[in-house]
Amino acid sequence: MKASEIRAKWLKFFESKGHKIEPSAPLVPHNDPSLLWINAGMAPLKPYFDGRVVPDNPRIANSQKCIRTNDIENVGKTRRHHTFFEMLGNFSIGDYFKEEVITWAWEFLTDPQWIGFDPNRLSVTVYPEDTEAFELWNKKIGLPAERIYKLQENFWDIGEGPCGPCTEIFYDRGDAYGDLNDPECWPGGENERFLEVWNLVFSQFNHNKDGSYTPLPNKNIDTGAGLERFASILQDVDSNFDTDLFQPIIQKTCELAGVKYKQNEEYDVALKVIADHIRTVAFSVGDGVLPSNEGRGYVIRRLLRRAVRYGKVLGMDKPFLYLLTPIVGDIMGVYYPEVVEKREFIERVIRTEEERFHETLSDGLAILAELVENARKEGSNQISGPDAFKLYDTYGFPFDLTEDFAAEKGLTVDRDGFDRSMQEQRDRARAARQESESMKVQGGPLADFTVKSEFVGYTELVTTAKVI
Ligand code: ATP
Ligand code: MG
Ligand code: MG
Ligand code: MG
């Protein structure tokens, strides 16, 4: 079953249960300073959940574009994580509750008319005190008790506000993906066998200022399921990257690089990272985020540069990412027309940014080569902090890149020294700002130039982000 069919089935199923279908919101949150990116299907619907806005229909379903940069290190390593993915969701704003949502989830997953998973492969986790959810799975659905795991972490609570227990549904991918004797091999453990497909959150309490919990008068349901994960199961492939959502991108990259997929582990990681990052970058640019040195723009710049560096692993020394943009459009355009409509713009932005980075790379690399040579002459096996900082500050050469290249030559880089130079630079900028009236005008951007060379997590406040 193609991913686009799965998405369509989801929407049709929930429509048949009286839900209104909401289109995906843009990746940039609207009026929500607590989020850098939309990271879940529920995020753009918050005004309904906290009662600021009353929806026409209390039942809503969607397929929402999401970005989770906190999963970046997992990309290419696990079979199931992306920085950009689609979350399928169904929501009840003070309408239906546990019984309906569990019953419908089971129907959608196991009825051959919809997804048709083998029911014997499904297991769930519940919050230990949520006997109601346990009973529903066990008595109403008929799931054997040994396939219902009680998990303390199954409680959604982000501090003050609505919160509650959740129940998560896992698909057992079978012996080839993990040995049941391994203590981590169960639905709550670190393994690739039990694939988490769907999270059902029962928002039934209010977490009060004083730390107490009181039942909410209007209980809500918030669910999220990963489209790419459904696709990997339904297309009977090893990982999300082997589905029709990623394969055309990977194949095109192979063609451009003259390599083959699944012949070399290192190449495969690079191909997956590139396929992942190009989706994130293309969609964000399509939603108006431009590469820059702060906030969201910085996340995009880092992702794009990271993809370029993985391109180098495949031997690609000139811009190529922009050539993948039309493929993203071909795959996703059916549901997200913006990637097709804005294709030329997205391509231009990506190409320009790639070209700039290549210039930076070649300038920086020449200097780095000299630094390595000098270090060797002096009998040192380390690049100094101030030298690494100069590369960063003058040539825009990211620290981790310096580190990677140094490592290839058997050298390390002095991170503490780099951080100290960065701090000195900040102090100087601040002092200069205070001294000179004319500098005050440019003070902000100048001081901000020494941004941290780390990914800004999706939880970071937008106060650091450029407002677009
Ligand atoms: P995991 O434990 O696999 O990291 P999660 O518990 O962090 O997932 P939730 O926050 O519960 O995920 O999100 C709801 C659903 O969205 C998940 O059950 C999964 O199907 C999907 N999902 C979450 N994060 C990702 C991701 N980075 N890439 C692809 N799909 C994801
Ligand atoms: Mg996660
Ligand atoms: Mg999880
Ligand atoms: Mg989860």
* pLDDT score at 364: 84
* Predicted confidence band of residue 337 (pLDDT cuts 50, 70, 90): very high
Tell the residue nearest (CA) to atom 11 of ligand 1: 199
Q: Fill in the DSSP letter of residue 216.
A: E
Tell the residue nearest (CA) to atom 31 of ligand 1: 226
**Tokens describing residue 309:** 């560096």
* Ligand 1 atom at minimal distance to the Cα of residue 87: 16
pLDDT at residue 460 greater than cutoff 70 = no
Going by C-beta distance under 8 Å and a sequence separation of 6 or more, which residues neighbour residue 225? 10, 87, 88, 89, 197, 198, 199
Q: What angle do CA 85, 87, 89 make, to 5 degrees?
A: 175
Q: How far is the CA of 186 from the centre of ligand 3 (A)?
A: 12
The most confident of 21-25, 215-219, 452-456, by mean pLDDT? 21-25
Residues 296-308 have a mean pLDDT of 94
* Ligand 1 atom at minimal distance to the Cα of residue 166: 11
* Ligand 1 atom at minimal distance to the Cα of residue 169: 18
Cα dihedral across residues 398, 404, 405, 411: positive or negative: positive
How far apart, in whole angstroms, are the C-alpha atoms of residue 247 and residue 240?
9
* Radius of gyration in angstroms for the set of CA atoms belonging to the chain, rounded to a whole number: 24
Going by C-beta distance under 8 Å and a sequence separation of 6 or more, which residues neighbour residue 396? 360, 364
Q: Which CATH superfamily is domain 3-240 in?
A: Bira Bifunctional Protein; Domain 2 (3.30.930.10)
* pLDDT score at 433: 62
Name which of 185, 228, 223, 236 is nearest 59 in CA terms: 223
Tell the residue nearest (CA) to atom 4 of ligand 1: 81
Residue 22 DSSP SS3: strand
Tell the residue nearest (CA) to atom 21 of ligand 1: 226
Per mean pLDDT, which range of 41-45, 289-293, 409-413, 426-430 is the poorest?
426-430
Q: Mean pLDDT, the chain, as a whole number?
A: 90
**ipTM of the complex model:** 0.99
Tell the residue nearest (CA) to atom 30 of ligand 1: 226
Q: What percent of the chain has pLDDT over 70?
A: 92
- Beta partners for residue 61, in sequence order: 21, 90
Per mean pLDDT, which range of 21-25, 141-145, 207-211, 274-278 is the poorest?
207-211
Per mean pLDDT, which range of 107-121, 136-150, 272-286, 302-316 is the poorest?
302-316
The ranges assigned to domains in the chain are 3-240, 246-436+447-464
Of 276 and 457, the one with more pLDDT: 276
Residues 423-457: pLDDT tens digits?
Answer: 998 888 777 766 544 333 333 332 333 333 333 33
Give ion ligand 4 contacts, CB < 5 A.
Answer: 199
pLDDT at residue 372 greater than cutoff 60 = yes
Of 196 and 454, the one with more pLDDT: 196
* Ligand 1 atom at minimal distance to the Cα of residue 196: 18
Q: How many residues are recorded in the chain?
A: 468
How far apart, in whole angstroms, are the C-alpha atoms of residue 275 and residue 247?
9
Residues 112-127 have a mean pLDDT of 98
Q: How far is the CA of 421 from the centre of ligand 1 (A)?
A: 38
First vs last C-alpha separation in the chain: 38
Residues 53-89: pLDDT tens digits?
Answer: 999 999 999 999 999 999 998 999 999 999 999 999 9
* Predicted confidence band of residue 36 (pLDDT cuts 50, 70, 90): very high
